[in-house]
Amino acid sequence: MSIDLSTRYLGLDLRNPLVASASPLTGSVDSLKRLEDAGIAAVVLPSLFEEQIEHEEMATHDLMNFGSEVSPEARGFFPELAPTGSGIDKYLQLIADAKKALAVPVIASLNGHTPGGWTHLAQQFEQAGADAIELNVYFLATDAADTSEAVEQRYVDLVSSVRGITKVPVAVKVAPYFSAFANMARRMVAVGASGLVLFNRFVQPDIMLDELEVAPHLVLSTSDELRLALRWIAILHGNVQASLAATGGAHTTDDVLKVLLAGADCVMMASCLLQKGPGHVRALREGIERWMSEREYESVRQMKGSLSQRACPDPAAFERSNYMKALKSYSSRFA
């Protein structure tokens, strides 16, 4: 029996649900081609950061105003330029080169946390050929004056500002730290998010005891981390009019199958590809086909969401009852 692995994400037709998320592996055309050859269905390019954009635009502004303190006429020596910078130019070129070299969809990534002029780059991503944009919102509310209402509105305004200047689909990669995430998901979709990527992994700092310094500490994901996305995808499937992507913890065939059954349209991977290489995509695809064939599934569409909260025989398993069962069922030889 022939298995149809195709799916749709952000209105894009994918040959299977396996997507390479932003990582060093998606930062060059050579590695992108290796991923495509291994069977990846779409790629998300590494993020261009708000701070990076604003820094380069400020440098350009300073250059244009050099000498103006000596003579007001000095401003007229240089024509007005559109904001550009080496990092921005290289990123736009990567989009164009990837689109030329690949047959699979290319998704550009914009990483920020405040609405502002930097979001205009989304339009340039579209012009460079990006099939969609992933808005990676990375924000930690550390100011005690910030209210939850203000933080949520910042997300909504940011999504709205990017959506308002682009025609290609916009997916939003968000953290799970909202008191009412289901409502927050609906609000982001209401202002134009075509998809939600669940969830952003916050990189936690570490303290170096010898140097007495605070340093970044990147730890690759594990399969155990996938359960948070699994739960919320199952809850949101059928309740929001947007594509759903799982990210952070998909390493094995079983991981991929679980989130598809929960209702994900695609599964994004970075850590497992960094650890095992592009060839791991082929192993995952073959594992999915084998599992589906054994259980007589004909397509991903047929199985997708069959264990979501709406379809699950025990919907409460995704809510408080699961918490109680887990605690009561755990045993220890020391207890």
Please, which residues bridge with residue 174 across strands? 198
Please tell me the least confidently modeled range out of 83-87, 204-208, 302-306. Answer: 83-87
Residue 66 pLDDT level (bands cut at 50, 70, 90): very low
CA separation, residue 46 to residues 27, 100, 110, 156, 168 (Å): 6, 18, 9, 23, 18
First to last CA, the chain: 51
- Contact in structure between 124 and 92 (CB atoms under 8 Å): yes
Range of the domain at 196: 7-329
Q: Is the pLDDT of residue 108 over 90?
A: yes
* pLDDT tens track for 158-205: 999 999 999 999 999 999 989 899 999 999 999 999 999 999 887 778
Which 3 state secondary structure label does DSSP give 80?
A: coil
Mean pLDDT of 256-279: 97
Residue 52 pLDDT level (bands cut at 50, 70, 90): confident
Any domain includes 1: no
Q: Is the pLDDT of residue 72 over 50?
A: no
Domain count, the chain: 1
- Contact in structure between 106 and 125 (CB atoms under 8 Å): no
Q: Is the pLDDT of residue 39 over 50?
A: yes
Q: Is the pLDDT of residue 155 over 60?
A: yes
Q: Is the pLDDT of residue 321 over 90?
A: no
Q: What is the mean pLDDT of the chain?
A: 87
Any domain includes 2: no
Tokens found for residue 175: 């953290």
- Compute the C-alpha angle 137/151/248, nearest 5°: 35
Question: How large is the greatest C-alpha to C-alpha distance in the chain, in angstroms?
Answer: 82
Q: Is the pLDDT of residue 64 over 50?
A: no
Tokens found for residue 301: 């569409």
Q: CA 279 to CA 158: how far, in whole Å?
A: 37
Tokens found for residue 225: 């981390």
Tell me if the bond preceding 181 is cis, omega within 30° of 0: no
Mean pLDDT of 135-146: 86
Give the closest residue to 186 by CA, choosing from 164, 155, 161.
Answer: 155
Q: CA 250 to CA 254: how far, in whole Å?
A: 9
Q: CA 20 to CA 289: how far, in whole Å?
A: 19
Any domain includes 56: yes
Percent of all residues in the chain with a pLDDT value above 70, rounded to a whole number: 83
pLDDT at 84: 47
Give the closest residue to 21 by CA, choosing from 280, 249, 268.
Answer: 268
CATH of the domain at 214: 3.20.20.70
Any domain includes 311: yes
pLDDT at 1: 66
CA gyration radius, the chain: 22
Any domain includes 241: yes
pLDDT at 204: 79
Q: Is the pLDDT of residue 333 over 80?
A: no
- Contact in structure between 51 and 62 (CB atoms under 8 Å): no
Element (H, E) at 19: strand 18-20
Number of helices (H), then strands (E), in the chain: 12, 12
Give the highest mean pLDDT range of 50-59, 118-127, 265-274: 265-274
Any domain includes 334: no
DSSP annotation of 225: G
125, with CB counted inside 10 A (0-12, 13-18, 19+), is: buried
* pLDDT tens track for 205-249: 889 999 899 988 778 889 999 999 999 999 999 999 999 999 999
Q: CA 197 to CA 10: how far, in whole Å?
A: 11
Mean pLDDT of 111-115: 81
Q: Is the pLDDT of residue 290 over 60?
A: yes
pLDDT at 59: 44
pLDDT at 323: 55
Which 3 state secondary structure label does DSSP give 192?
A: coil
Any domain includes 111: yes
* pLDDT tens track for 3-19: 999 999 999 999 999 99
